[in-house]
Every structure is written in structure tokens, then in C-alpha cells.
Amino acid sequence: MNSEKQYIDLFEANREVISAHSTAVMNALREKAFEDFKRQGFPTRKTEKYKYTDISKLFEPDYGLNLQRLPMPINPYEVFSCDVPRLSTANHFVVNDALLYPTTPNKQLPEGVVITSICDYAAKNPDFIARYYGKLAKTEDDAVTALNTMLAQDGLLVYVPRGVKLENTIQVINILHTQVDLMVNRRVLIVVEPLAEVKFLFCDHTFDDQRFLATQVIEAFVDDNAKLDLYCMEETHEKNVRVSNVYIEQQANSRVNHNVITLHNGVTRNNVLLSFRGEDAECNLSGCVIADKKQHVDNNTVIDHAVPNCHSHELYKYVLDDEAVGAFAGLVLVRKDAQHTDSEMRNQNICATKKAHMFTQPMLEIYADDVKCSHGSTVGQLNSEALFYMRQRGVSEKEAKLLLEFAFINEVIDQMHLEPLRERLHHLVEKRFRGEFDRCEGCRKVQ
């Protein structure tokens, strides 16, 4: 219980400070979150859900927290040039856990669309925030969600009203920037009303060579006939720890695409909990991991088919080099009356060295009889015949390997619905495999 103690002490000592720099709606959940956190403690490797990543250990170091919410002097437009050619995006910067320029009105946005900080919006519309905040991310079920709810002071709110289709992709750039080891607790609330459509690209970056720990809770409400694309990309460094819990609730006939890409990182744990609450909804969850050195990436997904006639597809691919560790655990839960569920889960992995480890656990839990569910999982190497074929035709071994790995990962990238982004990622992945750049070209740090 040592890791927990510092957070318990911290909260007890700074209750007032935390609340003072936040808003009443968020403060309302704090005490319960604190109790839930104290009761659960951090999961260890003995906890089945966390057996491949020791969360408790990740929270052990003494990180600083910016509870006073002092602004960080940074001009992101100067230090980051983050654009994807031909992709019209609206950029929003989150530095550590604060939205930069929250009050700047964005004129390009269609009427009614809100992109702002939770605190700002809550000042005028507390009921709106209260209706959604913490409703999916239950503090009693997960210690990290509890910790995040207990410490988070602000967050990003995106609200797309009924029938509005946002053409531009909302690009949210999370920048970690300090001079000391820092822990940040990010919070995102996405509300997509009926018939509305919105696309997101979240990019995670580290600006300084410090140890960072970022917890992130994203809650997304996708109403009837609405569409949400949520792409997350991590490009951080080996001292970074990221624990992300994404909660998505889908109503009838809605569509969700969620794609998580990990290129550079330290230790990452991504949880996705998606539940179907209305019939005829569909989701695509996918992810790819390219890891080397001592990178550790653990993706954990739960798809909860609570109602009939929903479709889910899942595809995760890993390429592990050096001493990288990859883990994937996916659960498809088909509840008692969720007849005519159609669910497919695939996880394919390549271990390129003896010291790379892959753990995979594709699970099905089914309580309805008229369903079609399947899962497949493989761990293997590149096809030696394909390699031979290419070498016969004069392609060098190294190049042939790259081509095959590239093709392997591309299946995931091709699931994305944004063509310019796909192209950019193809390019990025290729660079990543070649080891030519240590970070993304478009998003690179300008010194």
C-alpha cells in the first residue's frame, strides 16, 4: 500500500487547494472518488485485469503536481508545428492538463458546437456538465479512474449538438512540459447528440526530458444515429507513463471508430470500455503498436453488448523488437438478451527478437444463444517464403523485412476514415520502422 499512501496524504493535505482551482461539479465527485481509491488501492500484477502491467509500481515515484494550476509559459504554435498535409484540422493544445487559450472563441466552428474547458462551461451550465461528468467513468470500478476523478481539476469539453456534422477534424495535442518530474490528470468529456458527427485526433507529446505520468479519462456519449471517430496517437519518450481509460457509450444506430496508435513511449496502459445501449449500433476498435528498446504497451478492451443487434469489430496488431513487451487483453461480453450480436476480434503479433515478449488474451463471455462471435489471435514471425521471394528479386533482406512489417501494420491504419491522416501515418510508420526519425516529422519539436 506504499504507492497509494502518498496520494492519500496528498489529497488529505491539499483538499481545499484542489477544489479551489476547480469547479463545483467536479468537486462533487471528489470525496467519493477518494473513498473508492482508498478502498481499492492500485492494482498489482496479482489483479487479473492488470497482470501484465504493474500499475502500483508505476505510481511509486514522487511526481510533482501542479495543484495551484500555475500557467506554463509556452507558445505551442512556436514550438510545435503539428500539421497533417491536406487535413483540415482545428488545433487545440492541452499543456499538461490545462486547455490552452480556453476562452478564445473559435469562429470556424458551426453554431452550437462547444470546445472549451470543463470549468469554463460549468460556470454557466453546471447542470449540463453534471448530467455527463463521471457517469461512465465509475470510480468504484477502477483505481486509476478514481485517482483521476479525485485529482483532476479541469478538462476538455466537446459538445456537438443535434444534427451538426463537423467537417474539420478536431486535433487535440497533449503536450507534457515542465522542469521537474510531473504527474498530470487529464479529463475529456465528449457529447455527440443525435445525428451529429465528429472526428478527433489526439496526439500525445512530451516536450521535456523529464519523467512524466499522465492519467487520462475520456468519457464519450454517442447518441442515436451519431458518429464518432476517435484516433489517438502516442509519440512520447521512454520516461513517460500513460494510463488512459476511455469510456464510450453508444446509443441506437450510432457508429464509433476508435484507433490507438503507439509509436514511441515508456510504459502505456490503454483501457477501452465500450458499451452498446441502443440497438443496431456498430463499433470498430483497432490499434497498432510498434515498439522496441524497453517499450511496454498494454491494451485492454471490453466491449459490452448489452442490447441486441449490435456489431463490433476489433483488430490490434503489434510489432515488437529488442526487449519490448506487448500485451493485449480483449473481452467481448454478450449479455443475456443481446441476440443477433455479431462480433469479431483479431489480435496479431510479430516478435522480432528473443527478448521481446507478447502476452495475449482474447476473451469471449457469452450469455445469449443466437449470436455470431469469433476471435483469433496469432503470434509469429514474418513469412519466410515472402521474404525469400523478395530477396530472389533483388530486394535486400532489410528492405524486404521492412516492407512486410509495413504491410502488416497497414491493415490497422487502413481502418481509419481520414485519408490524409492515413497517408501521414503510413509515412510515419515507415519512418518508424526505418528508425530514421526519433519522432514524428510533422509534429516534430522545433528547437
Measured from the CB atom, the residue of 370 and 436 that comes closer to another protein is: 370
Rounded least distance, CB 265 to another protein, Å = 21
Number of Cβ within a 10 Å radius of residue 436: 9
Measured from the CB atom, the residue of 358 and 409 that comes closer to another protein is: 358
Rounded least distance, CB 366 to another protein, Å = 5
Measured from the CB atom, the residue of 66 and 348 that comes closer to another protein is: 348
Residue 325 CA to residue 415 CA, distance in Å, equals 24
Rounded least distance, CB 319 to another protein, Å = 12
Rounded least distance, CB 300 to another protein, Å = 14
Rounded least distance, CB 374 to another protein, Å = 4
Rounded least distance, CB 380 to another protein, Å = 4
Q: What is the DSSP string of 271-296?
A: EEEEEE-STT-EEEEEEEEEE-TT-E
Class of residue 18 by CB neighbours under 10 A (exposed 0-12, middle 13-18, buried 19+): buried
**Which amino acid belongs to residue 5?**
K
Rounded least distance, CB 348 to another protein, Å = 10
Rounded least distance, CB 375 to another protein, Å = 5
Which residues lie across from 351 on neighbouring strands? Answer: 320
Residue 66 CA to residue 214 CA, distance in Å, equals 12
DSSP class of 47: S
Measured from the CB atom, the residue of 224 and 323 that comes closer to another protein is: 323
- CA dist 2 to 26, 200, 374, Å? 27, 38, 42
- CA dist 4 to 29, 38, 41, 56, 285, Å? 19, 8, 6, 8, 32
Query: Which cell goes with 24?
Result: 463545483
Nearest of 125, 148, 128, 151 to residue 138 by alpha carbon = 148
Query: Which cell goes with 49?
Result: 485485469
Query: Which cell goes with 420?
Result: 490524409
Measured from the CB atom, the residue of 357 and 445 that comes closer to another protein is: 357
Measured from the CB atom, the residue of 286 and 360 that comes closer to another protein is: 360
Judge contact between 186 and 216, C-beta under 8 A.
yes
Measured from the CB atom, the residue of 72 and 366 that comes closer to another protein is: 366
User: Footprint of another protein on this chain (CB under 8 A)?
Assistant: 48, 336, 339, 349, 351-381
Measured from the CB atom, the residue of 16 and 369 that comes closer to another protein is: 369
